[in-house]
Every structure is written in structure tokens, then in C-alpha cells.
């Protein structure tokens, strides 16, 4: 409801101010490439993975571009390193003794009007089954740009072989681009991997253009299930790793050109099932009524949103938050974001089947014009994207919530915690006959204990690294070892330093310390990845507020009963594992429930260096343990 319409804040972009130069002649060239590739796939099934890069290189060279191949060996499993986020990124060297290679072909077009210090990247992922249309599309645009006199930034076209996932290919190419490997063999023909033979004259190894101003990844995807679409679709994916987003201007330019020039229907991801939830629909209805009422009060307030719009916005927002919170990029554009390059992935899907020659040409023309327009806009930029927002949520393709708006509710939620901690800390111990009840250093003991638990949490979060070093354990066993080791360390730590319930610690102080550390954790997390902190805060704040011992005294017995039941329920619900368990039970495979799946999902999180993993184990887990301690506090 508070979402603003997007606007393009960098004036230099000037989207759509020039007429598109892309014509049917370019399209026919693109079509030619597509047919050639199809021929290769049909004729030479065995060596198609070698022939396609060769063909692409020929085509690229025909436009006068500098061309080379980049080989990606089968990517090793990314080593687990929870501290990776805080460390400065070190160049990773790829192991080169594998026998499987994905070969990407890269062409660089030197701009005539530019100084070669900046570049725009076009990425078209393909594999043997699909993606030839996106290659054709890319070639179309590329050959047009080779003739364009207005080009002032170099254009790099990466035809990424996405056999091992498009992300891996793109990120390995990027890391090669930015961190030159001293051991790199300058001549690709002598390097490990497939030999392209002496006929393949591509000149000297890895070539570079200037710093990348922006990157556009586009895929052409034929979606068969949705026949009823009345228009061609563009889906924009923009979430990078750990909730990083590209500059809003880039999304805007694509949206503006897509909708207002080429007549696409622009979508951003949304959680479809939310639209079906009854509660949200009712809420949307209520919101619409309130909005209309406010409109009556003051016509200048633009709060009236129709309930349908509200529901759709909520679903999109939820998906945006969720995608950011998981911290896993939604496409190859995430690899660019790690080098501070703004990038989006466009998924173009046609109305009609692509086998129809005419429909394909029309579709390619419009898609090509969209990409050409975007490149032309970015080409106008004089400096990096900096005008618009980096921190925002999308509630629709043309609506967003900026950091200034979404921080407010979060801050309100969080601000409860320090206030409560302070009040608990100053709690007057009237029944206590202690002559010096207000010792200002009385928090030392609980702080020591909380530090102990934090240390334990660090150990738990590091354990999987050592367990994964043991070769080839079944996932179930890995998980079991992990749990056992964690429990063991906890017991050992307790036996050395004494558990809190045996030492005399006032539970209010313990709670104050717990809340203070949680609020630090949440604040840090909100800076690293706001969405994770937002979702986490929803769970954790109520837990912090309600925590009190079961055996504690309370005036009203009914209230006490309710609070105790709430607490007991929360112990079960808020356990980090339980969310996962619930999902398993809902899916109905309770019988053959497999803890290995949990291990797998954790592996997935740390494989992407997700900050959610850190949050789960360094903030949530210790908080939960402290909560359990408070709950079973003896209270004498």
C-alpha cells in the first residue's frame, strides 16, 4: 500500500528516446544461426558440444569481434566456509584435472566512439536441448551493435554453456576476468580440455574489455503450460546472493521499454499460493475499504488500492522477501553482483510456439528491440549506476518499497528488545534481603554464560565443515554425527564451566542478557541481509518477550497457565529443526522421513555462502537454548 511507483532517477538513461534500428534483416541473420545450430545438433550428436562453440566463434568473428573460448572444468563442490562473508574475497583457483568441460564462447566488440574502459555484458546461456533461440537473439543484437555508430562502451557477449548450471559458468568466467590466474595458459589450444584443432584461429587467450557497467542475462523459454497468455512475457529476476539487488534503475529501464515500447507483459516472481489464501483476500478487501474511506477524508491521499492489486502486491512482496532471505541468487545475474556489477536476468517467453517461423521472427524482433533499447540506455551512462536504490523490495514490476519505508516496522519491532532488556536489568529485587541489590556488575555471570552458549553455537556451525571432510558419508550419518558432536560439546562445556541452572543466576538477568545479544544479532543481520532479519525477527521477538520460567510465581494463575503453555509450544515450534519437520509432515512423507534432507538443505545454504545459515546458527540457535534454560529455571 505504501509502495511507490518506480521512476527512473538517472536522467542520462533516456530509455526509448531513440528509435530502434533492429530490422527483419537482423532477425533473419539470427534465424540463420538458429537453423545452423539445430542442424549441428541433429547431424553431429556426439561432438555437438565442440561444434557449437566453433560455429559461434565463426559467427562472432564475422561481425568483427575479438573472440575466445573460456573453459570451465566440472566445478568442484564449493568448500564450506562460514566466515566467507566477512573475509575479503580471495581468488579461487579452479582444479583442472577433470575431464568434463563446458566451453563458453566470448566475443568482444570494441566500441568505435569509446575509450575501451567500460563495457556492457550480454549473457545468453544455452545447452544442447534449449537455448538456441537466445543465442540467435544475442547474435542478432550483437551484429546490430557491431554496426552501431553510437556505441561508446564495449560489448561483451558471453555465450555460456550452461551444462553445469549457468551460474557456475558465468561466475567462473567472471572470476577469471577479475582475478587473472597466474598459471593460466595463454594459448587455449594447449590448455586442458577439448582441442579445437589448428584451424581454429582465435588469437591469444583471455581478453578483457573495461569495467562492466551492467550485465543482461536473457533466456528464451517456451512455456507450454500457459497457452492462455494474451501477450508475450518478460520475467525479471533480480535477486542476488544474500539479498543484494541491482540498482533499481536497471529494473526500471527494462520494465519501461518492455511495457511502453515493445508491449511485453512484465512479471516479477511471486508466491502464487498466497493469492489463494483466504485471509489475505479478506485483508485486501479491508484495506481497499480503508483506502476508500481515507480517500473520502482527504482526496490527496492515494491509499486506495483495489483488493486484487493488494493481494497481488502482497504475493509479490512475499516472494521478493523470501528470495532475498534465502540468500541464493535467482539466476546467473547473482554472479555479477559479487563484483558490484548490476545485472538482471530476463526470461522471455513467446505467445506462440517457436517452431512457427513467422511467430518466432516477430518475437525475436521485439525481444531484440527490448535488449537493444536497454543496451542503448546503459550506453548513455557516464558513471556507475548510483542514482537509484539498491535496497528495496519489489511489490510489482513497477512498484517498490524502499529501505526508508521498510526499516520503520522492523525498527519498531526490534526496539522492543533493548527497552525490555533495560527494564529487566533494573528490575527491583524487593523480596531479596541482599544489602546491595543493585550491584551494577551483576550481569557478569549471565553474560559469561551467554558467551559460553555463543561459543557453542560457533562450534556447531563450524562442525559440518569437518564432517564434510570425511569422505562419502551417507547424508543421514552426517546429520547424526553433527547432532551428536553438538550435544557432546555442549555437555563438555557444561561440565567444565557449570550449567546455568546449577549456578545461581537470576533468570531476569539471564533474559536481559539474552535479549541484548539477540538484538545485536538482529541489527547486524538486518544490515547483512534485511529479509533474513525480518523473517527471523518475527519468530524470535515473541520468543524473547514471552520467556519466563514455568516454576516462577505469578499473581494470576490463568495468565500463568496461558504463558506457560505458550512457552512450551514455542520451545517446540521455534527449534531450528522443527520448521523443516513440519514441512516434511505436511508433504506426507513422515514414515520414511530422512534427516539427510535437512543436511542437504544446510549444504545448499552454505554452498551459496548464504547469510541465513549464519543467522540460523549464530543468532537463532543460542537464543533458543537460552530460552529453554529460562523456561526450566529452578527459581528458588
Partner 1 sequence: MAEIRRYWPTATAALAFRLVLIFFSGDLNLGARPEVATPLSSLRRLAEGYWLKQSSLSPYAGSMYHGSPLLLSVLGPLIAKRTEDRPTYFYCSLLFVLVDFISALLIRSIGQKLSVSKSQSIKSLSKKEENLENNKNLGDFASLIYLWNPLTIVTCVGFCTSPIDNFMVILTLFGAISNIAPLAAFGFVMATHFTLYPIILIIPVILLLGFGPDAPSFKILKRKRFSWRPVILFIFWTLIWASYVLILSSISLKGVGGLNEMFKKTYGFILTVEDLSPNIGIFWYFFAEVFEFFRDFFLIVFHVNILFIVLPLAIRLKNRPVFLAFVYTAISAMLKSYPSVGDSALYLGLLGLFASELSDMQFSLFLFFGYIGVILLSPVMHNLWIWRGTGNANFYFATGLAYACLQTVLIVESVTSMLKHDRMLKKLKNG
Pattern 528-557, binding to partner 1, x per CB under 8 A? x-----------------------------
- Using the contact rule CB under 8 A, the part of the chain among 223-231, 407-415, 523-531, 599-607 near partner 1 is 523-531
- Nearest distance, CB of residue 418 and partner 1, angstroms: 9
Q: Cβ atoms within 10 A of the Cβ of 327, count? A: 27
- Using the contact rule CB under 8 A, the part of the chain among 324-332, 511-519, 549-557, 574-582 near partner 1 is 511-519
- Using the contact rule CB under 8 A, the part of the chain among 49-57, 110-118, 480-488, 519-527 near partner 1 is 519-527
Residues numbered 71 to 100 that lie near partner 1 (CB under 8 A) are: 83, 85-90
H/E run at residue 1: none
C-alpha cell at position 581: 519437520
The candidate with the shortest Cα–Cα distance to 519, out of 385, 635, 421, is: 421
Cα-based distances in Å from 507 to 503, 550, 561: 11, 11, 19
Residues numbered 392 to 431 that lie near partner 1 (CB under 8 A) are: 421, 425
Nearest CB to partner 1, comparing residues 221 and 528: 528
Pattern 317-356, binding to partner 1, x per CB under 8 A? -----------------------x----------------
Q: Cβ atoms within 10 A of the Cβ of 193, count? A: 18
Buried b (16+ CB within 10 A) or exposed e, 458-468: eebbebbeebb
Pick from 280, 391, 458, 485 the residue near partner 1 by CB under 8 A: 391
- Nearest distance, CB of residue 419 and partner 1, angstroms: 12
Q: Checking DSSP bridges between strand 4-5 and strand 399-402, what pairing results, if any?
A: antiparallel
Nearest CB to partner 1, comparing residues 199 and 440: 440
Which DSSP string corresponds to 179-227? S--TT--S-TTTSSS----TT----SS----SEEEEEEEEEE---SS-T
- Nearest distance, CB of residue 440 and partner 1, angstroms: 5
Residue 314, C-beta contacts closer than 8 angstroms, at least 6 positions apart: 274, 280, 283, 284, 395
Nearest CB to partner 1, comparing residues 124 and 244: 244
Nearest CB to partner 1, comparing residues 84 and 267: 84
> What CA–CA distance (Å, rounded) separates 585 from 577?
13
Q: How many residues bind partner 1 (CB under 8 A)?
A: 27
Pick from 382, 471, 527, 572 the residue near partner 1 by CB under 8 A: 527
Q: Is the dihedral of CA 459, 460, 461, 465 positive or negative?
A: positive
Residues numbered 441 to 460 that lie near partner 1 (CB under 8 A) are: 441, 443, 447
- Nearest distance, CB of residue 528 and partner 1, angstroms: 6
Question: Is 341 strand, coil or helix?
Answer: coil
> What CA–CA distance (Å, rounded) separates 124 from 87?
31
- Using the contact rule CB under 8 A, the part of the chain among 211-219, 268-276, 463-471, 518-526 near partner 1 is 518-526
- Nearest distance, CB of residue 339 and partner 1, angstroms: 9
Pick from 416, 524, 563, 571 the residue near partner 1 by CB under 8 A: 524
The candidate with the shortest Cα–Cα distance to 141, out of 126, 123, 116, is: 123
User: CA 222, 347, 101, 69: dihedral to nearest 10 degrees?
Assistant: 120
Nearest CB to partner 1, comparing residues 280 and 447: 447
Nearest CB to partner 1, comparing residues 108 and 341: 341
- Nearest distance, CB of residue 562 and partner 1, angstroms: 30
The alpha carbon of 479 is separated from its chain's Cα centroid by a whole number of angstroms, namely 26
Classify burial at 4, counting beta carbons within 10 Å of its beta carbon; exposed 0-12, middle 13-18, buried 19 or more. middle
- Using the contact rule CB under 8 A, the part of the chain among 427-435, 522-530, 539-547, 556-564 near partner 1 is 522-530
H/E run at residue 229: none
Nearest CB to partner 1, comparing residues 16 and 246: 246
- Nearest distance, CB of residue 342 and partner 1, angstroms: 9
Pick from 280, 413, 523, 635 the residue near partner 1 by CB under 8 A: 523
Contact indicator for 625, 542 with CB cutoff of 8 Å:
no
- Using the contact rule CB under 8 A, the part of the chain among 50-58, 144-152, 262-270, 514-522 near partner 1 is 514-522
244 near partner 1, rule: CB under 8 A: yes
Nearest CB to partner 1, comparing residues 340 and 589: 340
Nearest CB to partner 1, comparing residues 57 and 378: 378
Nearest CB to partner 1, comparing residues 217 and 421: 421
C-alpha cell at position 298: 482527504
- Using the contact rule CB under 8 A, the part of the chain among 64-72, 369-377, 434-442, 493-501 near partner 1 is 434-442
> What CA–CA distance (Å, rounded) separates 540 from 544?
6
Nearest CB to partner 1, comparing residues 296 and 527: 527
> What CA–CA distance (Å, rounded) separates 614 from 461?
8
Residue tagged 552454505 (cell numbers): 606
- Nearest distance, CB of residue 226 and partner 1, angstroms: 35
> What CA–CA distance (Å, rounded) separates 69 from 57?
8
Residue 346: phi and psi, rounded to 5, are -110, 130
Pick from 34, 420, 457, 516 the residue near partner 1 by CB under 8 A: 516
Nearest CB to partner 1, comparing residues 259 and 447: 447
C-alpha cell at position 210: 573495461
C-alpha cell at position 597: 534432507
Which DSSP string corresponds to 110-175? --SSS-SSEEEEEEEEE-SSS-HHHHHHHHHHHHHHHH-SS--SEEEEEEEE-TT-HHHHHHHHHH
Nearest CB to partner 1, comparing residues 484 and 520: 520
- Using the contact rule CB under 8 A, the part of the chain among 111-119, 436-444, 482-490, 573-581 near partner 1 is 436-444
- Nearest distance, CB of residue 511 and partner 1, angstroms: 13
Residues numbered 17 to 56 that lie near partner 1 (CB under 8 A) are: none
Contact indicator for 238, 342 with CB cutoff of 8 Å:
no
- Nearest distance, CB of residue 390 and partner 1, angstroms: 4
Which DSSP string corresponds to 241-269? GGG----HHHHHHHHHIIIIIS-PEEEE-
Pick from 164, 184, 303, 390 the residue near partner 1 by CB under 8 A: 390
Which residues lie near partner 1 (CB under 8 A)? 83, 85-90, 244, 340, 390-391, 421, 425, 439-441, 443, 447, 512-513, 516-517, 520, 523-524, 527-528
Amino acid at each position: 500500500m505504501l509502495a511507490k511507483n518506480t521512476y527512473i532517477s538517472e536522467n542520462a538513461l533516456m530509455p526509448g528516446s531513440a528509435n530502434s534500428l533492429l530490422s527483419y534483416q537482423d532477425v533473419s541473420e539470427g534465424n540463420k544461426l538458429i537453423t545452423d545450430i539445430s542442424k549441428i545438433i541433429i547431424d553431429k550428436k556426439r561432438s555437438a558440444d565442440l561444434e557449437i562453440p566453433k560455429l559461434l566463434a565463426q559467427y562472432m568473428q564475422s561481425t568483427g569481434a575479438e573472440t575466445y573460448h573460456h573453459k570451465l572444468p566440472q566445478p568442484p563442490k564449493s568448500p564450506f566456509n562460514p566466515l566467507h562473508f566477512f573475509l575479503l574475497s580471495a581468488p579461487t583457483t579452479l582444479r583442472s584435472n577433470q575431464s568434463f568441460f563446458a566451453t563458453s564462447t566470448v566475443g568482444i566488440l570494441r566500441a568505435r566512439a569509446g575509450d575501451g574502459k567500460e563495457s556492457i555484458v550480454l549473457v545468453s546461456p544455452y545447452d544442447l536441448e534449449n537455448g538456441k533461440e537466445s543465442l540467435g537473439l544475442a547474435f542478432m543484437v550483437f551484429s546490430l551493435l557491431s554496426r552501431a555508430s553510437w556505441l561508446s562502451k564495449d560489448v561483451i557477449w558471453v555465450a555460456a554453456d550452461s551444462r553445469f548450471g549457468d551460474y557456475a559458468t558465468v561466475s567462473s568466467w567472471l572470476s577469471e576476468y577479475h582475478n587473472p590466474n597466474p598459471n593460466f595458459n595463454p594459448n587455449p589450444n594447449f590448455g586442458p580440455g577439448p582441442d579445437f584443432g589448428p584451424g581454429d584461429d582465435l588469437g591469444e587467450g583471455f581478453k578483457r574489455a573495461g569495467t562492466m557497467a551492467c550485465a543482461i542475462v536473457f533466456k528464451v523459454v517456451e512455456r507450454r503450460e500457459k497457452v492462455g497468455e494474451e501477450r508475450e512475457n518478460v520475467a525479471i529476476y533480480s535477486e542476488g546472493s544474500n539479498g543484494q539487488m541491482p540498482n533499481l534503475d536497471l529494473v526500471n529501464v527494462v520494465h519501461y521499454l518492455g511495457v511502453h515500447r515493445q508491449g511485453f507483459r512484465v512479471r516479477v516472481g511471486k508466491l502464487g499460493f498466497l493469492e489463494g489464501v483466504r485471509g489475505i483476500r479478506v485483508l485486501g478487501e479491508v484495506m481497499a475499504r480503508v483506502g476508500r474511506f481515507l480517500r473520502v477524508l482527504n482526496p490527496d491521499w492515494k491509499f486506495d488500492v483495489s483488493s486484487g492489486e493488494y493481494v497481488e502486491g502482497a504475493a509479490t512482496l512475499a516472494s521478493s522477501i523470501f528470495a532475498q532471505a534465502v540468500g541464493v541468487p535467482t539466476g546467473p545475474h547473482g554472479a555479477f553482483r559479487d563484483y558490484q556489477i548490476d545485472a538482471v536476468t530476463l526470461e522471455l517467453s513467446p505467445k506462440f510456439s517457436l517452431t512457427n517461423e513467422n511467430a518466432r521472427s516477430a518475437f525475436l524482433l521485439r525481444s531484440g528491440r527490448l535488449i537493444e533499447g536497454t543496451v542503448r540506455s546503459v550506453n548513455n551512462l557516464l558513471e556507475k549506476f548510483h542514482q537509484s536504490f539498491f535496497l528495496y523490495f519489489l511489490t510489482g514490476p513497477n512498484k517498490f518499497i524502499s529501505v526508508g519505508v521498510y526499516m520503520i516496522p522492523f525498527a519498531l519491532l526490534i526496539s522492543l528488545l533493548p527497552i525490555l532488556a533495560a527494564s529487566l536489568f533494573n528490575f527491583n529485587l524487593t523480596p531479596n534481603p541482599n544489602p546491595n541489590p543493585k550491584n551494577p556488575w551483576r550481569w557478569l555471570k549471565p553474560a559469561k554464560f551467554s558467551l559460553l552458549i555463543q561459543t557453542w553455537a560457533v562450534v556447531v556451525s563450524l562442525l559440518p565443515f569437518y564432517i564434510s571432510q570425511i569422505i562419502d558419508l551417507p547424508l543421514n550419518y552426517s546429520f547424526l554425527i553433527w547432532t551428536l558432536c553438538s550435544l557432546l560439546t555442549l555437555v563438555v562445556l557444561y561440565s567444565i564451566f557449570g550449567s546455568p541452572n546449577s549456578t545461581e543466576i537470576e533468570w531476569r538477568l539471564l533474559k536481559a542478557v539474552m535479549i541484548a545479544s539477540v538484538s545485536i544479532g538482529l541489527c547486524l543481520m538486518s544490515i547483512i541481509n534485511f529479509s533474513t532479519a525480518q523473517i527471523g525477527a518475527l519468530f524470535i521477538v515473541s520468543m524473547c518477550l514471552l520467556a519466563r520460567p514455568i516454576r516462577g510465581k505469578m499473581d494470576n494463575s490463568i495468565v500463568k497457565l496461558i504463558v506457560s503453555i505458550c512457552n512450551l509450544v514455542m520451545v517446540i515450534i521455534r527449534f531450528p529443526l522443527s520448521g523443516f519437520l513440519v514441512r516434511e509432515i505436511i508433504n506426507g512423507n513422515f514414515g520414511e522421513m530422512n534427516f539427510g534432507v535437512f543436511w542437504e538443505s544446510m549444504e545448499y545454504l552454505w554452498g551459496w555462502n548464504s547469510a541465513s545459515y549464519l543467522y540460523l546458527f549464530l543468532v537463532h540457535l543460542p537464543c533458543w537454548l537460552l530460552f529453554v534454560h529460562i523456561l526450566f529455571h529452578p527459581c528458588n
